[in-house]
Amino acid sequence: MKNGDWRINKSRSQTPEHRRALYYNLRDKVFSLLGNKCNSCGFEDVRALQIDHVHSDGAKDRKKSGTSYLYHVLNTVSEDKYQLLCANCNWIKRHTHEEVKKIYEEGFSFPTEPPHIKVFKEKQCHQCKTLYVPTNGRQKYCNNCKQK
């Protein structure tokens, strides 16, 4: 087999679509074993449900299981280590159990403006000499002169 032929002769199990389908099938099995609804409020939309560690030992558990995390959860679901929580209840639990305490102790603060938004300073139009705020960094004329 020549270099690069593996792309042509790729088996079905290596395609992203097949791996995604396997992941969702496994996730559905785990969710059904855990009750398919939030353990706290009863929310049932699977798009917002998350697997939660009852004793807040998720980091140790994920480190131990590695990449096969869902298989690990599926095999140990009977030990009452896991529960399903909706995203809201999961964050409330993290906050009440001080699982996010490290972030606040390190002085984390949310940015005042999103980092992807650039704020440009006022410029003087090259044609009419009025001040304007450009919409991009290369704009030389105000909107009135640009439309003429």
pLDDT, tens digit, for every residue of 99-120? 766 555 555 565 565 555 566 6
Which residues sit opposite 51 in a β-bridge? 84
Q: Which of 38-47, 55-64, 112-121 has the highest mean pLDDT?
A: 38-47
pLDDT of residue 48: 93
> How is residue 94 written in tokens?
């993290």
Give dist(CA 103, CA 131) in Å, integer: 43
- Taking only the tens place, the pLDDT of each residue in 73-97 is 888 877 788 899 999 999 898 888 7
The helix/strand/coil state of 104 is: helix
Enter the DSSP assignment of 37: S
Average pLDDT of the residues in 127-142: 79
Beta strands in the chain (DSSP E): 49-53, 82-86, 123-124, 131-132
| DSSP 8-state class, residue 136 | S
pLDDT at 135: 74
State the burial class of residue 73 (Cβ atoms within 10 Å of its Cβ: 0-12, 13-18, 19+). Answer: buried
CA distance 34 to 27: 11
**CA–CA separation, 57 vs 73, rounded Å?**
13
In which residue are the tokens 């009750």 written?
Answer: 35
- Output b/e per residue, 1-15; b: 16+ Cβ within 10 A: eeeeeeeeeeeeeee
3-state helix, strand, coil in the chain (%, to 5): 45, 10, 45
Residue 36 CA to residue 29 CA, distance in Å, equals 9
